[in-house]
Structure 1
Amino acid sequence: MSEIIIIAAAAENNALGINNDLPWHLPDDFKRFKTLTTDHKIIMGRKTLESFPKALPNREHIAITRSKDYKPKFPCTLVHSLEEAISLVKVDAKSYIIGGGEIYHQAMPYATKIELTRVHAEVKADTFFPEIDLEYWELIQEEYHPKDDKHQFDFTYLTYQRKNT
């Protein structure tokens, strides 16, 4: 069975981003994102794709857009729905949903796991992560990281697995 993993960093108020950018700089979270997503398909909305200066190396980019004539700034696979994106994932493969807010909402029913970096702050945002319903999700791992000279906020890596309901 394929694994569809939501990966995100969100503040205590579920803030994800503002003006198509992240509201923090957490180098260790970037390293973790790279480690987990390298050599896998990454599925994202058009705005998330546009937030990258260039393609992320060693990952297959799948971007969802409603526009039939959208031209991305670097080569990637374009689809017009989350379901179409998921259909491109091999049965035995891992793929990562990397944003943004609307795509995360749509992906919740399909996801098998959530890799969430909970940033211990409340920040202004225009994009938010959906609530995690603990009726359907079980926290299976957590790892706390205090703020330091490279990280302006404390944060915790949280791994949720879908319950067999």
Structure 2
Amino acid sequence: MVSLIVAHANQNVIGFNGDMPWHLPSDLKNLKNLTEGNTIVMGRKTLETLQKPLPNRKNVVLTRNKDFKFDGVEIIHDIDEIKNLEGRIFIFGGSNVYKQTMHLVDEMFITKIHETFAGDTFFPEYDVTEWEIEEITPGVVDEKNKYAHEFMHLTRKL
């Protein structure tokens, strides 16, 4: 099974100037809970934004750059190699990796942030009617989590 995890704001914004335009600790906690002990697949730019592999999970980078190396990260050069990875796999971004792998995804974990931000990086458009809504959990807005948000779990309709 291939899963996808993303946080996006209105207009499917996921980034601006190489970073996320919001700070939402509850989303980071959700991300950690879902992906720890599993495999995350990301593009080179996403890894460079993080500056280091995420701990307690297998970090895999999908890149066309045959010379790319990074300590603590497995490198793959072809989308077809994703199916050879072991364990539960989460597509982790960025925008190009999401676009290239959407057809492989069986389920999506989406943190939908009900806010409009300036953005230059976007999650691909998706038709929610092609997905079963398994769960929608409202996020708590408080002094640390300033934006209205919800956690969605969608599975692809057969």
Distance in 2 between residues matched to 1:55 and 1:128, nearest whole Å: 22
- Give me the whole-angstrom Cα distance separating, in 2, the residues matched to 1:108 and 1:70: 24
For 1:138-149, list aligned pairs within 5 A.
138-149=132-143
Q: Pick from 131, 137, 148 the counterpart of residue 137 of structure 1.
A: 131
> Following the alignment from structure 2 to structure 1, what is the Cα–Cα distance between the partners of residues 15 and 133?
24
| Per-residue deviation, 1:135 | 3.8
- TM-score, length-scaled by structure 1: 0.91
State whether structure 2 residue 77 is matched by structure 1 residue 80.
Answer: yes
Larger helix percent = 2
Secondary structure of residue in 1 paired with 2:151: strand
CA RMSD of aligned residues (A): 1.2
User: Gapped runs of 5+ residues in structure 1?
Assistant: none
**Partner of residue 36, structure 1:** 34
Match of 1:5 in 2: 3
Cα offset, 1:136, TM superposition:
2.1
CA distance in 1, matches of 2:85, 2:65: 22
Question: Pick from 139, 144, 156: which aligns with 1:150?
Answer: 144
Map residues 36-55 of structure 1 onto 2, 5 A cutoff: 36-55=34-53
Q: Answer yes or no: is the 8 Å Cα contact 1:24–1:152 preserved in 2.
A: no
- Render the CA deviation track for 1:85-121: whole Å, top value 9, x for unaligned: x13323xx31100000111111111000000000011
Using the size of structure 2 for normalisation, the TM-score is 0.94
* Gap runs ≥5 in structure 2: none
Over residues 40-92 of structure 1, what are the superposed CA-to-partner deviations in whole Å (9 max), with x where a residue is unaligned?
A: 010000001111132211111110111111132x32111112222x13323xx
Q: Report the AA paired with residue 142 of structure 2.
A: D
What CA distance in whole angstroms lies between the structure 2 residues aligned with 1:14 and 1:54? 25
Taking every aligned residue pair, what percent have the same amino acid on both sides? 37
Q: Is the 8 A contact 2:62 2:77 kept in 1?
A: yes
Aligned equivalents of 2:139 and 2:30: distance in 1?
13
Counterpart residue identity of residue 114, structure 1: M
